[in-house]
Homo-oligomer: A and B are copies of this chain.
């Protein structure tokens, strides 16, 4: 009768403290805790006999043993956790990014969701101090990330320092497509509703559209405006200001984000203005909900889920020290033509 056949000594799994520790498993399996560690981490192949391995595994199962992550982190230096620093999780564009990140990290790594305030620095530092293996940053200025001690990947920040790992959208195709679409419909008097946040992506969205427009129809006049990325704020703005824009002969409104376009559509509906009958509306982002507005929204498609997935994959590679491909991932944009845009109307 070998050791394997003997009943495994029962050791109280529920010690006062709570979970079982490696020492408990070791005692129950009559091995050293080093062996337990080897088996628990799947490093037993060729180093521990099959018998011992089986016995330890059984006890681990029985006791529900899981290595204390804090203790493991202390020695390995790894946290098995990355953070996503974003400004507003209720923004569907951000939710989509988060979903992409979730898909990329799998089950081995956890995702910390950090909502930033207006100021970015303290949050970044706090997250780094909390202890994560890497950080995905949606937007803040790149200057703050130096000396954080962990890899950082910047999201949707086309103007970030060349040397910084990042994933962003190539806004050129989408911007040009939208310009062509609008110019083709005869729009020569536009209103561009920018975001108030001074982010590079918004500058790019604007300039790509304007450049395209001035190339295709140099006589186009674009009135600038701006608002927060908030449905209600934008809605109020439109209700207040549409009469003026109308007098100016605006035939199309383009917004920097879908959320703002939602507000524009709502404000216009409040006013009884028909879209695209009296004015066309288009935007950047094209989140799923953009198909459901009345009318469905024409928008430059920015695949946010893909951005999340790509950036997280890059970050994971950086963390592992793998240098797979480029540290800069560019994701193409396109145009989703729906029915919120139509021929320019002249009154």
Q: Which A residues have a C-beta under 8 Å from some C-beta of B?
A: 14, 18-19, 64, 66, 68-71, 73-74, 79-81, 83, 88-90, 92, 95-96, 98-99, 102, 107, 110-115, 125-127, 129-131, 147, 149, 231, 262, 265-266, 288-289, 291-295
Contact = CB atoms under 8 A, between A and B. Distances in A.
A134 B319 CA distance: 27
A262 B292 contact: yes
Nearest to A67: B129
Contact of A68 (B74, B98, B111, B112): B74
Given A265-B292, A292-B262, A293-B292, A110 B110 contact: no
B115 A113 contact: no
Contacts of A110: 83, 112, 114, 127, 130
A112 B132 CA distance: 11
A62 to B, nearest CB: 13
B131 A115 contact: no
A269 to B, nearest CB: 8
A149 B70 contact: no
Contacts of A114: 110-111
Contacts of A99: 88-90, 115
A95 B125 CA distance: 25
Residue from A70, A88, A98, A231 having most chain B Cβ neighbours under 10 A: A70
A80 B70 CA distance: 12
Contacts of A79: 70
A73 B73 CA distance: 10
Nearest to A107: B126
A156 to B, nearest CB: 17
Nearest to A132: B110
A288 B231 contact: yes
B74 A102 contact: no
Contact of A102 (B19, B89, B266): B89
A73 B80 CA distance: 15
Contacts of A291: 266
A297 to B, nearest CB: 10
Contacts of A90: 92, 95-96, 98-99, 288
Residue from A14, A99, A131, A265 having most chain B Cβ neighbours under 10 A: A131
A68 B294 contact: no
Given A90-B96, A102-B115, A110-B114, 10 more contacts: A18-B149, A70-B73, A83-B110, A89-B99, A90-B92, A110-B127, A111-B114, A265-B292, A266-B291, A293-B293
A76 to B, nearest CB: 9
Given A99-B90, A126-B107, A292 B70 contact: no
Contacts of A14: 147
B92 A98 contact: no
